[in-house]
Structure 1
Amino acid sequence: THPTQWDHEYLEMLLDHEWEVVQSPAGANQWQPVDIREADMPVDVEDPAIRRMPMMTDADMAMKVDPGFREIAEAFRQDPERLDDAFARAWFKLIHRDMGPKERYIGPEAPTEDLIWQDPVPAGATDYNVEAVKQRIAESGLSVGDMVATAWDSARTFRQSDKRGGANGARIRLAPQKDWEANEPERLARVLGVLEPIAADSGASLADVIVLAGNVGIEQAAKAAGHDLVVPFQPGRGDASQEMTDTDSMRWLEPLSDAYRNFLKKDYSVPAEELMLDRTQLMGLTAPEMTALIGGMRVLGTNHGGTRHGVLTEREGQLTNDFFVNLTDMGYRWVPTEANRYEVRDRRSDEVKWTATRVDLVFGSDAVLRAYAEVYAQDDNQAKFVNDFVKAWTKVMNADRFDLEP
């Protein structure tokens, strides 16, 4: 009866009356109560002397007649304070969900409790010996492809749209991520089985060790190509638990495609190269950063399932610019074979040299992306490519490190 103030009369109105379908003035179906007393009718917002027949929609009726919703409605009616708290929490979630974890909040009204929909992550250690951990990883026997692919899979879920996902928390080892097709569950379990003891023995979080392993793989691949470098690293990631993980909402982060590892779960109506751009903008990458990363990931042997598509090099495992050199070489022609697949053939002998996908071809066929590719294909730009790859890689690995923001 007081439509402009907070109270709980909605539930009383809904549950205490029987309702019938009537036609609105516009001819639509709506619900109104049967035999309602005038004293129970809502007052007009502008003139309290006027009372109007209440109207409900099918959505309102669901709260009354659906058994599950009815149980919740009855519980709220019996405990109004519970409704007040639930509404406040739901409202807070609605208007803050795209702001990320509570570490990003400022001001005295920010809540201090951990809310599961914020994907909480405990603080990680920073006082362990990073070089000793890197040495153990290097001696573990893992391949460059295994180390780089696992670190990438852990970090690529980051979405700048709502600040969810990323490597912090090592949720790649938890449900549902550990079972995602994009993460190659069997390979992932094997790699984590090697990295977990290293984390346990060193005092580092597994999240840190996963990223460090990727860095080690890149450093090894760069050295094999003649470039001595150290990939930047910031310790302090933590390991989330399964209890800290909202499993149901986490499933929406599952990659259905990943051009960086030449993965496509199935053929979609959206072209693969457009899916590539979507994931790229979600991770906050620029077009040149995307180009450098894809060219590097191809030659490092990180393709999903070990496929050879787009591996345009004879030196797999070395961080070279071969992908771009061979992509732009006019001595080859690209022949479509099936949906999303191409053969790269020698123009003179017609011999099949490599296979590739649409996301490989677009770096040669799109004018803008080809311009970036030709820069990296130059003989005197090998060092530039390696440095740009490392910068873009580090950006992805640290995308969810909000504790590092100035």
Structure 2
Amino acid sequence: MTKTNETAGKCPVMHGGNTAQGAGVMAWWPNALNLDILHQHDRKTDPMGAGFNYRAALKELDVAALKADLRALMHDSQDWWPADWGSYVGMFARVAWHAAGSYRLADGRGGAGTGNQRFAPLNSWPDNVNTDKGRRLLWPIKKKYGNKISWADLMVLAGTIAYEEAGLKTYGFAFGREDIWHPEKDIYWGSEKEWLAPSDGRYGDVTKPETMENPLAAVQMGLIYVNPEGVNGKPDPAATALQMRETFARMAMNDEETVALTAGGHTIGKCHGNGTVDALSPDPEAAGPEFQGLGWMNTKGRGIGRNTMVSGIEGAWTTNPTKWDMGYFEMLFNNEWELKKSPAGAHQWEPVNLPEAFMAPDVEDPSIKTMPIMTDADMALKVDPIYRAICEKFMADPAYFDECFAKAWFKLTHRDMGPRARWIGPDLPAEDLIWQDPVPAGATDWDIGAVKAAIRASGLARADLIATAWDSARTYRGSDMRGGANGARIRLAPQNGWEGNEPERLARVLAVLEPIAAAHGASVADVIVLGGSVAVEDAAAEAGYPVEVPFAPGRGDASAEMTDVESFAVLEPLADGFRNWAKKDYVVSPEEMLLDRAQLMGLTAPQMTVLIGGMRALGANYGGSPDGVMTDRVGALTPDFFVNLTDMANAWVPVGKNRYEIRDRATGAVKWTASRVDLVFGSNSVLRAYAEVYAQDDNAGKFVEDFVAAWVRVMNADRFDLS
């Protein structure tokens, strides 16, 4: 048969939409509101099914046997990827470090808590070259223990065991990291379109690291921390020190922790740069199927052992790179250093006239000696006066250095796990650490009914009770499990002074609720949440759908001594679309900021939608603003917001930045005002579909039920004891 233009080249399968090359909806309409961030971990991606409980599976784990297998692996060199000096301690320390090192304090995203290093973009970041080999070396152990150990836990434990095998007394370990099953493609890692693009675009002024764009922490696209060759690849230890200080601070580390982690991280292992980039295959995500998920494989030569290519820098930092000792400080401070180039052409610092006895052995033949190196970040510890003083303190007291590194490593690898209540295992440290945001246990034996009656008799308005409970709970972020109502930190600095918490209204409400809590033996945290429940119940009853809002006592009240004020500052809301408020005008649209907050709170798009409608009906806007309160029954839990938003008798007219009037089409009379956040639930096709569900005549009862369920989810988001 002769091919025609119509039949030639046709394929029976859809092209483009199934691959990264397809032009999806957002490619056609790039300015449309992208809701994908609310769906990025849909349960349909999870092969374990809704009935799987990782915390229950962990109870069956033989921890001692797992550790023994990991210790054996550290010295079980594989021909396909041989261990340096016959030891994988450097490899697995790096796997864990780079899994945890993507954490950033500003929004709590990144980190090792989800096993996200298995997926793009992290599995293919230039800074993560050959961490894929580490995960593949761990596969036999993961296969053996199966569901009893997550990839997330296994990678961090492997790094911790690596340090123990090197000789460090570690601080402890907690299990409890549950794997994700889909790339976190909607996390913002920067606007650059190429790996390792110059970092100038991330800064208002690259010479002033504090001007780096929030919430970013790493200095360039595809790096974990700073560029080891210097700022934008140009050696200058003093400038690198400034970037280190800002970047590590954005990772929740102070100067002492920064020095400890840098020195301790470089006490074992080496850099690899004895090759050329041109010889490497693409990264794991871009490599062909014959590579089976491995990337950066050498296609023109040996590419393993002494010929391995990673960062391009080549050499170990110490004389004994598999041993935990003070060799890093001895090498750095007992030598003069000069700038050289690695075999791969990377900038590195090498010691001047180093005797062969202090050189590191070759990774394959210990009789061959190789020149140690330092990166620009290492030299920064010697050049920067603050870092240098800390190094000198560590050198004078090696036991103190051991302790500081062990604690900093524990913090690095556990910072995104949230409160101690989520931690599982036999090796938990006894000490409560302030960065864990500790909260004492709360009482559970008080009379809920009596407290409800006292709240109803207090004279507090529903809107005030709703706003106080919401503001207390909305700080929760599922990225690192920080914030939330437990602890009642809304009554403490810095939260009691945050503009978004309406300090005057907050103080007035707390002055009423705190005595009620004291009189009944309840925590203030519980009474704040119960106050919101009372208001929701009364509002639902007024709407004709009486309900009882589920409530579980047991929240505790944190003290000022338990609260790291500086650390909590990053939880301050800059905007809250649920209460129709923004601290100021931002480049990012109000509706995009709403999505970000909803995702951090762990809400789905339908839950976000029903909460918006309910909060408007309850009159819970910031400062009593009328925007979006499209109802004549303010305070009753009705679906009027959705009914009037979708009513075609109304017209929507812009009257200012982020402000609209809803007018009667026939008369032109202004009926209500609204914000962009309000109107997006009618303009966005997906959100409108949800809004129409609640606007239907037969769904007023469903609206109340769904609002209550979403409300309870927010109030209980940080109640890890309930799960």
TM-score bucket (shorter structure): over 0.9
- In the alignment, does 2:411 pair up with 1:99? no
Structure 1 residue 82 and structure 2 residue 82: aligned?
Answer: no
2:548 counterpart of 1:210: no
Cα distance in 2 for residues equivalent to 1:24 and 1:315: 73
Q: Say whether the 8 Å CA contact 1:41–1:54 is kept in structure 2.
A: yes
**Structure whose residues are more often helix by fraction:** 1
How far 1:132 moved relative to its partner?
A: 1.1
- Once the two structures are superposed, the pairs formed by residues 103-114 of structure 1 within 5 Å of their partners are 103-114=421-432
CA offset digits 1:211-270 (Å, max 9, x no partner):
011111112222222232221110000011111122222222221121110112222222
Give the C-alpha shift of residue 24 in structure 1.
4.6
Tell whether 2:445 aligns with 1:164: no
Matched, 1:56 2:374: yes
Matching residue of 2:230: none
Aligned residue in 2 for 1:347: 665
Q: Which residue is 2:34 aligned to?
A: none
Q: Are 2:683 and 1:365 equivalent residues in the alignment? A: yes
| Cα RMSD, aligned residues only | 1.6
Of 362, 376, 387 in structure 1, the residue corresponding to residue 705 of structure 2 is 387
User: Which residue number in structure 2 is paired with residue 180 of structure 1?
Assistant: 498
Aligned to 2:98: none
What's the counterpart of residue 15 of structure 1?
A: 333
For residue 300 of structure 1, report the CA deviation from its aligned partner.
0.8
SS at 1:162 equivalent: coil
Deviations 1:111-144 (A, max 9, x none): 2321211111100001111111111111111111
Letter in 1 for 2:389: E
**What is the SS of the residue equivalent to 1:370?**
helix
Q: Which among 387, 390, 394 is matched to residue 69 of structure 1?
A: 387
- Counterpart of 1:299 (choices 614, 617, 640) is 617
Alpha-carbon distance in structure 1 between the residues aligned to 2:516 and 2:334 = 63
1:288-345 CA distances to partner (integer Å, 9 max, x unpaired)?
2111111010111111122111111122111111111111111111112222221111
Distance 1:25 1:265 in 2: 52
- Matched ranges for 1:254-403 at <5 A: 254-403=572-721
1: CA distance, partners of 2:403 / 2:519: 44
Residue in structure 1 matched with residue 433 of structure 2 by the alignment: 115
C-alpha displacement at 1:25, in angstroms? 5.1
**Alpha-carbon separation, structure 2, partners of 1:328 and 1:212:** 33
**Higher RCO, 1 vs 2 (CA within 8 Å, ≥6 residues apart):** 1
Deviation of residue 207 (structure 1)?
0.3
Q: Which of 87, 110, 134 lines up with 2:452 in the alignment? A: 134
| Structure 2 letter corresponding to 1:110 | L
In structure 1, what is the equivalent of residue 507 of structure 2? Answer: 189
- Which residue type is aligned with residue 85 of structure 1? E
Residue aligned with 1:379, SS: coil
* Residue of structure 1 in register with 2:547 after alignment: 229
SS at match of 1:231: coil
SS at match of 1:219: helix
Deviation digits for residues 145-203 of structure 1 (CA, Å, limit 9, x no counterpart): 11001100111111122211111011111122112221112211121111111111211
CA distance in 2, matches of 1:50, 1:180: 62
Distance 2:330 2:512 in 1: 60
Q: Distance in 2 between matches of 1:20 and 1:107?
A: 47
Q: Which is further off, 48-57 or 159-168?
A: 48-57
Pair 1:154 & 2:472 matched = yes
Q: Would the aligned equivalents of 1:160 and 1:284 in 2 still touch at CA under 8 Å?
A: yes
Partner of 2:402, secondary structure, is: helix
1:144 matched residue in structure 2: 462
CA–CA separation in structure 2 for the residues paired with 1:365 and 1:307 = 22
Give per-residue Cα distances to partners, 1:27-72, cap 9 Å, x unaligned: 5543233343332233322222222332222211221122221121
Rounded to whole Å, the distance in 2 between the matches of 1:106 and 1:57 is: 37
In 2: Cα distance, 1:16 partner to 1:339 partner? 62
Counterpart of 1:239 in structure 2 is: 557
Asked if structure 2 preserves the Cα contact closer than 8 Å seen for 1:175 and 1:247, the reply is yes
Partner of 1:380, secondary structure, is coil
Query: Retained in 2: the 8 A contact 1:345–1:353?
Result: yes
- Alignment partners' CA distance in 2, 1:228 and 1:272: 33
The answer (yes or no) to whether the contact 1:98–1:162 under 8 Å persists in 2 is yes
**Range that drifts further, 326-335 or 35-44:** 35-44
Q: Report the residue type matching 1:36 in the other structure.
A: L
Distance in 1 (alpha carbons) for counterparts of 2:405 and 2:465: 45
Q: Letter of the 2:531 partner, please give it.
A: A
Q: Distance in 2 between matches of 1:309 and 1:289?
A: 20
For 2:527 and 2:588, locate their aligned partners in 1 and report how far apart those are by CA, in whole Å.
36
Q: What is the TM-score when the length of structure 2 is the normalising length?
A: 0.54
SS of residue paired to 1:344: strand
Give how far 1:23 is off: 4.5
Q: CA deviation at 1:26?
A: 5.5
1-side partners of 2:722 and 2:387: how far apart?
43
Aligned mates of 1:18, 1:352 — CA distance in 2: 77
Structure 2 spans left out of the alignment, 5+ residues: 1-318
Work out the CA distance in 1 between the residues paired with 2:335 and 2:565. 39
Q: Distance in 1 between matches of 2:540 and 2:441?
A: 32
Task: Verify the 8 A CA contact 1:3 1:45 in the aligned structure 2.
Answer: no
